Amino acid sequence: MSDATFQDTKESIVRKPTPEERAKFFGAFHAESGSAGSAPAGQSAAAEDEVPTLVSRQMLIGELLALYPDSAYALMQCGMGCISCGAAQLESIEEASMVHGLDPDEIVDFLNYKLGLIPLDAD
């Protein structure tokens, strides 16, 4: 494989989403919820007697993945390939969001919603 081909492939894998792509993604995320007060279909946070641990800005990526293995897919949907980066395991969601140029609060809200931990507010 030539250096130019490798570079093109590498850039297509690791490129950051444009502001327009982020707006489109998070706009679709907000539109997807439709109604307030309900978690996504087929997702439950935990047993009724357990209080689930909400995702926070300070939570480490490694801790998030250990608590909620399904969060790997949600992170990838946001454009954060943190599941494959060893260094990110010791990085907080806030730090990882900033590295990727993303709003940590939007990422936390998205993760909590996708994991069925909170309903999406109807603002």
DSSP tally for the chain: helices H, then strands E: 6, 0
- The CATH code of the domain that includes 115 is 1.10.3910.10
Assess if residue 40 is contained within a domain: no
Between the alpha carbon of residue 114 and those of residues 15, 20, 86, 87, the distances in Å are: 24, 22, 24, 24
And the tokens for 38? 């309900």
Mean per-residue pLDDT over the chain, rounded? 73
Assess if residue 75 is contained within a domain: yes
Assess if residue 63 is contained within a domain: yes
Task: State yes or no: pLDDT of 100 exceeds 60.
Answer: yes
Assess if residue 39 is contained within a domain: no
Beta bridge partners of 87: none
Whole domain around residue 109: which residue ranges? 53-123
Whole-prediction pTM: 0.59
What total number of domains does the chain contain?
A: 1
pLDDT in tens, 44-95: 444 455 678 899 999 999 999 999 998 999 999 988 877 778 888 889 999 9
Confidence of residue 102 (pLDDT cuts 50, 70, 90): very high
Assess if residue 26 is contained within a domain: no
Instruction: Please compute the mean of the pLDDT values over residues 4-29 and round it to a whole number.
Output: 56
- Report the distance separating Cα 108 and Cα 49, nearest Å: 24
Assess if residue 37 is contained within a domain: no
The pLDDT of residue 17: 60
| Structure-model confidence comparison of residues 17 and 114, the more confident one | 114
